[in-house]
Structure 1
Amino acid sequence: MKFIKRLIILAFICMLLGLGTVFGFYFFVKLELPDVATLKDIELQTPMQIYSIDGKLISQFGEKRRIPIMYDQIPQNLIEALIATEDHRFYEHSGIDPIGIIRAALVVIMSGSVKQGASTITQQLARNFFLSNEKKIMRKIKEIFIAIHIETLLSKQEIMELYVNQIFLGYRSYGFGAAARVYFGKDLDKLTLSEIATLAGMPKAPSTMNPLYSIERATNRRNVVLGRMLTEGYITHSEYEQTKNKNIVASYHEPKIELNAPYVAELARAWAVAQYGDNVYKSGMKVYTTIDSRLQNLAQHVAISNLLSYDQRHGYRGAVAILWDKNSIAWDTIKIEVHLKNQPSYGELKPAVVMTVTDKTAKVKLQNNKNIILSWDGIKWARRYVTDTLQGSAPQRASDILSAGEQIWVQYVNQEWHLSQMPAANTAMVAISPKDGAVQALVGGFNFAHSKFNRVTQSIRQVGSGIKPFIYSVAIDQGMTLATLINDAPINRWDSSQGTAWRPKNSPPIYDGPTRLRIGLAQSKNVMAVRVLRRIGLNKTINFLTKFGFNRANLPRSEALALGAGSLTPIEVAQGFSIFINGGYYIKPYYISKVENPFGKELHKAKPKSICKNNCNVHINKRNSSNLQEEENLLDQTDDIANTSQLAPQVISEQNAFLVREMLQANIWGGGSWRNGTGWNGTGWRAQKPLNRRDIGGKTGTTNDSKDAWYSGFAPGLVATVWVGFDNNARNLGRTSNNTNLKKIQISGAESGAKTAQPAWIDFMINAIAHVPEQRKEIPSGIVQVRIDRHTGLLTRKADGSAMFEYFEQGTEPTEYVSAASSHGNIYESEGEELF
């Protein structure tokens, strides 16, 4: 009895010492323990993702790949696999497993080192969130205290949810949702039992037990997991046998980018950082842009195809590199494969090496040791490039173009491979909704990896004749009409400051004498635009142009403004054209539709200004406001309607917008009657047959020496602008001659807006509005239509080919008939001493 009594006392003393030790350790590390309560509000580090408005993934930004999932989204067999393998008493303990700790302690005593862990799932969660992975006693003690604290704050479901979302599983994947995508390219709920067990076995050593590092280790570990699931009764023996004998099929899966819009992704990224700071990279935000995936894919294809067509008609500039020549030993397959593996691809352009050349074909090797044949149809375009204005003669044989050992570019066109090359010029294209300014497609250049400079928003270029619709809008505002006659005749003005004469010319240099305003814009008559500007006045014109949102600093104070000396970005041009299409309202382009957190809660929603045309009770003196800022100030001061700041300001009248639209439609469809000999075309006539509808319009733009080529135009619900030019503004787009190897339908002569930019616009609109019914013309109130004489613009009683119906703003229509005017000889607008 005495021995037993002493034994009990000793046990009691040991217990007190143990408790004292525990409390001692607790108070020793107390100040170093983290605030576990932060787990209640934990935000998992998840990449920010950029989407199109219809939910297509454009890009993601962030170091960690993670796909957060809620507890009820976790597959039951994954929960069972984790419990069976990592912590089979998970639902029984309060954060630590005493049996496991005793087992690990015995191993330490016997071996003298820490060789076996005893971590529960809760302890692993504590370590992953708050501690390191170092195997030290003090770290283990902290881990135990934190785990116990976690169990008092969170339910078992909350602990499991955090664990499943937070655990590192190799290859930058954090959480099982991301790992399912990385290794198997599937959503977590689509995985098989074998795949679930493979992932469940990886927390022990994610860098070495994943199936990409070692399929053998991953298979062995998977089978251990299956064995534990069998032991715990989660799967049957039949399921165990069937699954353990299956091969693991895994490969690395990049995030599935569904839409190619890298310039849009960069705009969205910069916007998000500006709004929310650098934490967006681990916020899991979903940023939905205004981009329409169908229109974006279309714009991407037509803009790049058009640029490559421009580049190729100017000739072939030769191989990228010479790997070996006829006097050298040809490279072997392995050396070629290694070389090509290190070469970039740029969109449709793929690096390749010429292996052999025959009379009309060439055998070429691509990456991954793929062999292809370039047929004569794919290489016969490649006459030699000499200069931007001169090309060599058409090649007769493949050997005139290619030699074995050359590294070249190829692209897949119309079901066959073609020789290609990196374009020297560049392009930009943007399509927006004139209703609210939503940017629906944006191509900032040939290739984002090649150049991150966004030419849609950053490239300020002279717009050439693309400025004329805005000049003519000023003219209409000042009382001119579509029938006003302006003298289309050469201008010769002495500039005393320069000591030279200024002689602006039409392109082509054809002059028709007194010509109606409608024709002047549609045919892009340069001298007419200058005379219109003179009549209005330079100051008044510049003030009016700021209504469209144009920067005054980029509008030169000279008559060259009428010829396009003003400089704008493509997005500014599209924005300006939208005003003509929506009835005169200033809308600001925007790219971001909404932002959500990882669980779908809306954090931001775009609120573009709306267009209100009826019963708005907003009274703005549009005629008297000199610029856009004044319009907005007047609107903001109006008390007649709630939340007027959300209304788009009307910067030109609906009648003005309608009349400019008429001239833009004439740019494509011309006017007159070809049957009666009065027909004429505008500079955009090439869109007539491909589109074959009357509810479209646009304007070409070409700057001096063809440095910039533009086309901007509209269709129902859409405005699009295309630009082509060299980033080096000193270089001209040049001219080409016919290539005798090609069909008769080819572009030649001097490059211009109609030849260089409009083809992309046409191809875009053909598909963009293919299923949109043709819209009937809506004539606003205050517009009248009268019969006029084609030559004088005055009223006529005739109904033959000399007459036509024209639109006028009520009160500006002519009042004289042509016969009466003729007798007085006063049928043309006067410009002082200049003769018509």
Structure 2
Amino acid sequence: MLAVAGTTSIIMVSSAAYLYLAPLLPSAETYKDVQLETPLRIYTADNRLIDEIGNRRNPVTFEEIPLLLTNALIATEDVRFYSHSGVDIQSLLRGFYGFIRGVNLGGGSTITMQLANNLSFDSDNVYLRKFKEIPFALQIQRELSKEEILTLYLNTIYFGAGADGIGAAAFVYYGKAVSELSLAEAAMMVSLLPCPSTCNPLSNPERAIARRETRLLNMLNEGMIDSEEYSTANSSPVTAQRHNRNIAVHAPYVAEMVRQQLYREFGEATYTLGFEVTTSIDGDKQLAANRALVEGLEVYYDKRHGYRGPAAQYLVDDADPFADSSRAPSTDPTEYWLEQLQTVPVYGNQHPAIVTAVEQRQFSALLKSGETVNVPWEGMNWAYTFRSRNEAWPPPQQAADAVQIGDLIRVKQGQQHWELGQVPDIQGALISLSPSDGAVLALVGGYDFRRSQVNRVLQARPPGSNFKPFLYGAALEHGYSPASTINDAPITRGDYRPNNYDNTFLGPVTLRYALKESRNVPAVRLYDQLGSSKVLPFAAKFGFQTQNFPRNDLTVALGSQDVQPLELVTAYAAIANGGYKVDPWFIKQINSLADGVIFQSIPSIVCEDCSQSHDESAEVIVPAPRIIDSRVAYILNSMLRSVIEEGSGNRVQRELARGDLMGKTGTTNGPQELWFSGFNQDLVTTVFVGFDTPEPLGEREQGATIAVPIWIDYMRSALADTPEASMSRPDGIVDRLIDKTTGAVATPGDSNSMFEYFRAENAPQMAGDQLPGVELDEEASEELATETIF
């Protein structure tokens, strides 16, 4: 009697609900052509995936879904799926009866009702939701076939681990297409419903196995599989593991810049509307930049300063090997060690490991994968004991001097063997762009994005001597030449008394020599003579925010004011391209699933003749504005070439042996920041190295010791197999034979002479002609200053 009453009640309620809600139900088109949420995808300029942001979704067709998967779903969620009309009266009765009795006898929702909820009603309370589900499910049943319902359901349900839909879930958990799932894997997929977080085989494998067994039993009981298939699948080990997105080019700092820019425009829709962003990033250059910065921070700085010891110790002594742990096994520690390793991320190319055995000249270590690797003496003899930034001593004599059993350490795969590693506590940045249009071709904002999301390309720090080319450029613009002399002698302005790096003074030197050798005192004197009224407006043309610079501070000449690596590389681009201002950009095109191309970049381009075609189909050309005389740019290129050939950047020439490279080092007081910016006409790159909280890096460090070799490693790859590209000599440049030391016009045959470039109107006409410069003054005889600024 109760069953009859219940059935009658459900039919009456369903009929009333349908009549009441029918006008409010979505039209068939809204779910026949449902717009699945699709993540933001970011690509390189050559169409290689950088990142996906948002839940993964890979819609599949019914033909791609294996029968064993739909059977597992039906056997568990809706055994009468093919026989009911979208609403299963028996299931609803069972749920209604349980509700009256106050016991859980299972839900009454069919797959069709669950689909209705997924599409519309998931924010309502449970009873109101089911009241709405019934008429919507009936409508769906009328409009869609059973196959379409199953397909739409499996494409819209969430499977955990950021996977929306079965297509994405099959890849995330098993790294395969849904059509390739085995019976055990298909049952595991269904076991994730409706608790994808707590029933996950990645986070809770024991519970996942139990739920998989229930799904397999359901299939066996329904005759969908036989006992042999059940036994084989039920005994299968858990093979699920997290498969990352198919990232082809690792550029997380670029991806985050893209995400932030789109979020400012589109908000939360950024992650769901299927935007595809093509960036300006060159995939090969980005990979080279990643390697250069990561390995450079490790090799050129961190290892040179010694080994700081293990991050933790998980085996204290023989008497009480797990004294530091509240939960540790009483026998073999391997399981415990593996458990500890699972919580430690990989940074850079350094794998967390725990030392398991130590011999005289080698040791063994356990990786989080369960593999044990051997580190020979050649892979650890660098591990001098770290004492301070200025001292690492003594060197190890045996393996036990560096590691002990139970040490949590880092190891990395070298070219020939495994090596003891160490995550650097220093940071850095590298940015490379095209001088012709400002396109960002490679960008690395730090050692590892997982460790720190701070993008150091956008963080302002003092550039030191990396700023000097813009001081010397201002001098060239105001009538000086590379042969003009400036006095390298003590100078005092109030309490300020700058010094040179080597604590010497050379007397009058040419501007070319002063820049090449990065002499500080001549730079300060030049700034003092020109004045901020000439230097700062000149620097502002390159994009420096000089409105924030002090007007009466001579340390500006030595790069004391904070600037971003992005600002520096953009400014150097204008030197590289002959004097044009290009703006940096990194988003080339944005596509929307719904609207196609919604943004296309139109960067300003360096070109001698930018007269546009009248052809309406021609690409729009925006000419980059000229900001300095091409002759000033050419002479400045020449002076920066001297830095590479003979000056502080001479390592570049020794290792790369190209005739088209120019650049300048930078080292600040302490030293706390290290820089190198360099270029040819096709590529300009800036490297920064320093601690996030400024502190001295060590008294022997300079831009030439760390930033330069990182730059070299990147440019070696970035310029491989490319012809040399230097600025063409513009009209109005003349040569004069001068004395290298005095800058005066020399006579042919003079052994200390060289040809120097001049703007025609500033060129001396005969031997002895006076060039702009400063005379010695009484301060030249003052005692050596004690303050050093690099």
Q: TM-score, normalised by structure 2?
A: 0.82
Q: Note the C-alpha offset of 1:470.
A: 0.6
Corresponding residue number in structure 1 for 2:763: 813
Corresponding residue number in structure 2 for 1:315: 306
Q: Note the C-alpha offset of 1:717.
A: 2.0
Change (3 A) 1:225 1:661: farther
1:425-824 equivalent positions in 2, closer than 5 A: 425-458=426-459, 460-487=460-487, 489-495=488-494, 498=495, 502-557=496-551, 558-598=553-593, 601-616=596-611, 646-669=622-645, 681-729=646-694, 731-735=695-699, 750-775=700-725, 777-796=727-746, 798-799=748-749, 801-816=751-766, 818=767, 820-821=768-769
What secondary structure sits across from 2:457 in the alignment?
coil
195-204 or 407-416, larger mean C-alpha shift: 195-204
Change (3 A) 1:570 1:98: closer
Q: TM-score, normalised by structure 1?
A: 0.78
Q: 1: CA distance between counterparts of 2:655 and 2:361?
A: 33
Q: Note the C-alpha offset of 1:214.
A: 4.6
1:138-217 equivalent positions in 2, closer than 5 A: 142-150=132-140, 162-188=152-178, 191=180, 214=208
Corresponding residue number in structure 1 for 2:340: 339
Alignment-mate amino acid for residue 652 of structure 2: A
Alignment-mate amino acid for residue 722 of structure 2: V
Q: Note the C-alpha offset of 1:140.
A: 5.4
Corresponding residue number in structure 2 for 1:624: none
| Kept in 1: contact 2:485–2:773 (CA 8 A) | yes
1:375-454 equivalent positions in 2, closer than 5 A: 375-454=376-455
Q: 2: CA distance between counterparts of 1:323 and 1:201?
A: 39
Alignment-mate amino acid for residue 773 of structure 2: E
| Kept in 2: contact 1:701–1:711 (CA 8 A) | yes
| Kept in 2: contact 1:379–1:418 (CA 8 A) | yes
Change (3 A) 1:104 1:450: closer
Q: Note the C-alpha offset of 1:319.
A: 2.8
Q: Note the C-alpha offset of 1:443.
A: 2.0
Q: Note the C-alpha offset of 1:579.
A: 0.8
| Kept in 1: contact 2:42–2:51 (CA 8 A) | yes
Q: 1: CA distance between counterparts of 2:122 and 2:165?
A: 18
Q: Note the C-alpha offset of 1:427.
A: 1.5
Superposed CA deviations along residues 667-695 of structure 1, whole A, max 9, x for unmatched, are 111xxxxxxxxxxx111001112101111
Q: 1: CA distance between counterparts of 2:519 and 2:124?
A: 79
| Kept in 1: contact 2:72–2:186 (CA 8 A) | no
Change (3 A) 1:605 1:109: closer
Q: Note the C-alpha offset of 1:324.
A: 3.9
Q: Note the C-alpha offset of 1:726.
A: 2.0
| Kept in 1: contact 2:517–2:647 (CA 8 A) | yes
| Kept in 2: contact 1:96–1:144 (CA 8 A) | no
Superposed CA deviations along residues 464-491 of structure 1, whole A, max 9, x for unmatched, are 111110111111111112222223x222
Q: 2: CA distance between counterparts of 1:374 and 1:86?
A: 49
| Kept in 2: contact 1:78–1:197 (CA 8 A) | no
Alignment-mate amino acid for residue 608 of structure 1: P
Q: Note the C-alpha offset of 1:294.
A: 2.0
Q: 1: CA distance between counterparts of 2:95 and 2:239?
A: 38
| Kept in 1: contact 2:489–2:506 (CA 8 A) | no
Matched, 1:829 2:773: yes
Q: 2: CA distance between counterparts of 1:343 and 1:96?
A: 51
Superposed CA deviations along residues 781-814 of structure 1, whole A, max 9, x for unmatched, are 3333344443443445515644433322332222
Alignment-mate amino acid for residue 654 of structure 1: S
Q: Note the C-alpha offset of 1:194.
A: 5.7
Q: Note the C-alpha offset of 1:755.
A: 0.9
Corresponding residue number in structure 2 for 1:632: none
Alignment-mate amino acid for residue 372 of structure 1: V
Q: 2: CA distance between counterparts of 1:422 and 1:105?
A: 59
Superposed CA deviations along residues 185-226 of structure 1, whole A, max 9, x for unmatched, are 1245x6368699668967976759998765686588579889
Alignment-mate amino acid for residue 793 of structure 1: G
Q: 2: CA distance between counterparts of 1:321 and 1:209?
A: 32
Q: Note the C-alpha offset of 1:359.
A: 2.9
Root-mean-square deviation (CA, aligned residues, Å) is 4.3
Corresponding residue number in structure 2 for 1:46: 38
What secondary structure sits across from 1:414 in the alignment?
coil
Q: Note the C-alpha offset of 1:829.
A: 3.0
Alignment-mate amino acid for residue 255 of structure 1: N
Q: How many residues align?
A: 743
216-225 or 474-483, larger mean C-alpha shift: 216-225
Q: 1: CA distance between counterparts of 2:174 and 2:208?
A: 15
Q: 1: CA distance between counterparts of 2:589 and 2:283?
A: 16
Q: 1: CA distance between counterparts of 2:118 and 2:74?
A: 16
What secondary structure sits across from 1:475 in the alignment?
helix
| Kept in 1: contact 2:578–2:633 (CA 8 A) | yes
Q: Which runs of 5+ in 1 are unaligned?
A: 1-15, 89-93, 232-236, 618-641, 670-680, 736-749
What secondary structure sits across from 1:764 in the alignment?
helix
Alignment-mate amino acid for residue 625 of structure 2: P
Corresponding residue number in structure 2 for 1:78: 65
Q: Note the C-alpha offset of 1:706.
A: 1.2
Alignment-mate amino acid for residue 168 of structure 1: Y
Q: 2: CA distance between counterparts of 1:575 and 1:99?
A: 63
Q: 2: CA distance between counterparts of 1:293 and 1:187?
A: 27
Alignment-mate amino acid for residue 399 of structure 1: A
Q: Note the C-alpha offset of 1:82.
A: 7.9
Change (3 A) 1:554 1:402: farther
Change (3 A) 1:133 1:264: closer
Q: 2: CA distance between counterparts of 1:99 and 1:830?
A: 94
Q: Note the C-alpha offset of 1:701.
A: 0.5
Q: 2: CA distance between counterparts of 1:48 and 1:210?
A: 25
* Residue number among 252, 267, 276 corresponding to 2:241 in the alignment: 252
Q: Note the C-alpha offset of 1:698.
A: 0.7
Change (3 A) 1:586 1:465: same
What secondary structure sits across from 1:705 in the alignment?
coil
Q: Note the C-alpha offset of 1:43.
A: 3.5
Q: Note the C-alpha offset of 1:277.
A: 0.8
| Kept in 2: contact 1:173–1:179 (CA 8 A) | yes
What secondary structure sits across from 2:773 in the alignment?
coil
Q: 2: CA distance between counterparts of 1:220 and 1:109?
A: 24
Change (3 A) 1:609 1:75: farther
| Kept in 1: contact 2:480–2:772 (CA 8 A) | no
329-338 or 293-302, larger mean C-alpha shift: 329-338
Alignment-mate amino acid for residue 829 of structure 1: G
What secondary structure sits across from 2:670 in the alignment?
helix
Corresponding residue number in structure 1 for 2:3: none
What secondary structure sits across from 1:603 in the alignment?
strand
Matched, 1:300 2:290: yes
Sequence identity percentage: 34
Alignment-mate amino acid for residue 510 of structure 2: R
Q: 2: CA distance between counterparts of 1:810 and 1:532?
A: 22
Change (3 A) 1:209 1:261: closer
Change (3 A) 1:209 1:474: closer
What secondary structure sits across from 1:811 in the alignment?
helix
Corresponding residue number in structure 1 for 2:270: 280
Q: 1: CA distance between counterparts of 2:358 and 2:107?
A: 65
